[in-house]
Amino acid sequence: MQKSAKFIVIKGVLVMIVVALAGFLLFNGIGRHPYTYDELESVFRAKAAEQNVEGNGEEQLVSEVYGNSITFVMQTEDGERACATYGRSMFFNKYKELRFYAGANGVLALDEMTYNVSDGAIGYEVTALFGDEVGIDLSDEVSPVMYLKFMAVCILAMGVFGMKIFFNRRR
């Protein structure tokens, strides 16, 4: 193989690696997804216990899967509250924490708390309901996030190829 052919092959492989890594980070996000689906409830309970939200076996716990995520809401018998949303990886069946709130005062003092979640594919609102009936209310309106990522990749690719064509004509 000639020296220039080796350079072209190495350059092509490096470009493919960079594009694959950029695509992975764009669609999967930065950060690890350390939890499996079966671990999520115990992880949620452990983090709530760290925040002094733990019951004596009589707490109310509700979970709901929506889109690419799962949300937990818990209220103990003495009124302590916690809620969290975990997002799933686009490439693996693993989850990471997106949002976590705990306590009986502050933002969770009211019987209803709403927060925004973007799980990598869609963005939506989660309303954690406390009081007599613990529950989760998920918004019907979602904002798509994935098509924006695809559009960004297409614009970037058009820019790269356009610059390549422009600079090749100038030679």
DSSP calls for 93-144: S-EEEEEEEE-SSGGGSSSEEEEEEE-SSEEEEEEEE-SSS-EEEE-S--EE
Cα 119 to the center of its chain, rounded Å: 4
Kind of pairing between the strands at 95-102 and 81-88: antiparallel
pTM of the complete model:
0.82
CB distance 96 to 84 below 8 Å: no
**Does one domain contain both 136 and 154?**
no
Please tell me the total number of residues recorded for the chain in this structure.
171
Confidence of residue 69 (pLDDT cuts 50, 70, 90): very high
Task: At 116, give phi and psi (nearest 5°).
Answer: -90, 145
**Does one domain contain both 97 and 109?**
yes
**Does one domain contain both 62 and 45?**
yes
Q: Is 80 or 29 the better-scoring residue by pLDDT?
A: 80
Looking at residue 170, its pLDDT comes to 67
**Does one domain contain both 160 and 97?**
no
**Does one domain contain both 121 and 98?**
yes
Looking at residue 82, its pLDDT comes to 94
When pLDDT is averaged across residues 61-85 and rounded to a whole number, the result is 92
pLDDT at 130 exceeding the cut of 80: yes
Of 166, 156, 154, 84, nearest to 126 by C-alpha is 84
When pLDDT is averaged across residues 109-126 and rounded to a whole number, the result is 89
**Does one domain contain both 83 and 164?**
no
Domain of residue 155 covers: 144-171
Q: How many domains does the chain have?
A: 3
Q: Could you tell me what percent of the chain has a pLDDT over 70?
A: 96
Lowest-confidence pick of 42-51, 91-100, 150-159: 150-159
